[in-house]
Amino acid sequence: MPKGKIILDKRIHPRFSTRIPIRYRVLHNAKEIEAIDEHNKKTEVSQSADISLGGLRLVTKEVLKLGSFLRLHISVPSKFLFISTLARVVWTTKKGAGIHFVAMKEDDVKILNEYINKMSPAAK
């Protein structure tokens, strides 16, 4: 029998391909995490490759450090607004990173959920 790797998908939420604008900033230390209001100083502009309620795949020009915390501002096209979340890098490549949402306001979760549900095949 041929040998191969079995890859288990650990995602709880379904993921949908979408390209939406994302602004992010890597938080390098505890002081930066506490000083979130200074987020515009080192903010990068990028986009997602896919998204779910639990996280997203972020397209980046730089290689992000595994385990890094990010402050994300996610553009929700159907609402013409940004939602914010604290997130963590859970995997990384030269072209992007897997991002897990750590903390998000309840209202922002609802907005993201509505957007994702509109992309669901069941909604079409």
Residue 9 has pLDDT above 70, yes or no: no
Q: What is the mean predicted confidence (pLDDT) over 91-114?
A: 93
Q: Which of 14-18, 29-33, 69-73, 78-82 has the lowest mean pLDDT?
A: 29-33
The answer to whether position 3 is within a domain reads: no
The answer to whether position 79 is within a domain reads: yes
Residue 103 sits in a domain whose CATH number is 2.40.10.220
Report the number of distinct structural domains present in the chain: 1
The answer to whether position 9 is within a domain reads: no
Sign (positive/negative) of CA torsion 73, 79, 81, 83? Answer: negative
The answer to whether position 64 is within a domain reads: yes
pLDDT tens for each residue of 33-42: 556 555 556 6
Could you give the CA distance from residue 72 to residue 104 in angstroms, rounded to a whole number? 10
Residue 58 pairs in a beta bridge with 48, 97
Report the predicted TM-score, pTM, of the whole model to 2 decimal places: 0.67
Average pLDDT, the chain: 81
- Please, is 41 exposed, middle or buried when counting C-beta atoms within 10 Å of its C-beta (0-12, 13-18, 19+)? exposed
The answer to whether position 7 is within a domain reads: no
Domain with 64, as residue range(s), is 16-123
